[in-house]
Amino acid sequence: MIIEVENTLISSEIFSVNFVCNLEKCKGACCIEGDRGAPLEKDEIRKIEANLTAIRPYMTAEGLALLDSEGFHEGEEIDDIATTCLPTGECVFVYKENGILGCAMEKAFKEGKTDYYKPISCHLYPIRINKIGDFDAVNYHEWNICKAACSLGNELNVPTFRFLKEPLIRKYGEPWYNEVELIFEEYKKLK
């Protein structure tokens, strides 16, 4: 089922699939797996550039070398821009702590060093957004590396959209999110 809210077309899977990241199980695999780096919106490039000095101390030596030689993003088209990746697959901004991969941008933000959190595509995962004309298609993306997150989500009974409340509000605003909550209550009655 597809639900229209403002300029978005929402897949009901964000209601029906439960999800809570389980970093102890996946070890942050989404920072290393996949075909390429994190998708970036054009305005995020400027925000990252403005915060690079504060982010650099949290990056690995390999990430810094890649940053200095190739930069932090690749692709030119608006739907084709992504973070660069090391030959081993890690995003240029990845770091490892206690055996778990994390994001240098997020760590710098949480420690009060920057005013930029991380790419919205990462913050929203496992939701992926695609453009369909003037609409954003808001879809759940199923990935084997997130099976533990689905299991934990089922155990805790947390629908994907509720787990992602903060990034959804960051992307679309609180009134949009509140409307989605109301629709979810109606959706539950139909099940």
Asked if 72 and 48 touch (Cβ cutoff 8 Å), the reply is: yes
Rounded Cα–Cα distance for residues 119 and 77 (Å)? 17
Residue 124 corresponds to which amino acid?
L
Q: CA 16, 22, 28 angle in degrees (round to 5)?
A: 115
Look-up of token digits 């139909």: 190
Per-residue pLDDT, 67: 96
Q: 126 preceded by cis ω (within 30°)?
A: yes
Structure tokens at 7: 């300029």
Per-residue pLDDT, 136: 95
Per-residue pLDDT, 78: 62
Question: Helix (H, G, I), strand (E, B), or coil: what is residue 166?
Answer: helix
Rounded Cα–Cα distance for residues 119 and 108 (Å)? 13
Per-residue pLDDT, 122: 92
Provide the CA 5 distance to its chain's centre, in angstroms.
21
State the DSSP H helix or E strand holding residue 19, giving kind and residue range, or none if neither: none
- Can you give the pLDDT of all 191 residues of the chain as single tens digits? 899 999 999 999 999 999 999 999 988 888 888 778 899 998 999 999 999 999 999 999 999 999 999 999 998 766 689 999 999 899 999 999 999 999 999 999 999 999 999 999 999 999 999 989 999 999 999 989 899 999 999 999 999 999 999 999 999 999 999 999 999 999 888 87
Distances (CA, A) of 40 to 48, 78, 80, 112, 176: 10, 8, 8, 22, 22
Per-residue pLDDT, 59: 96
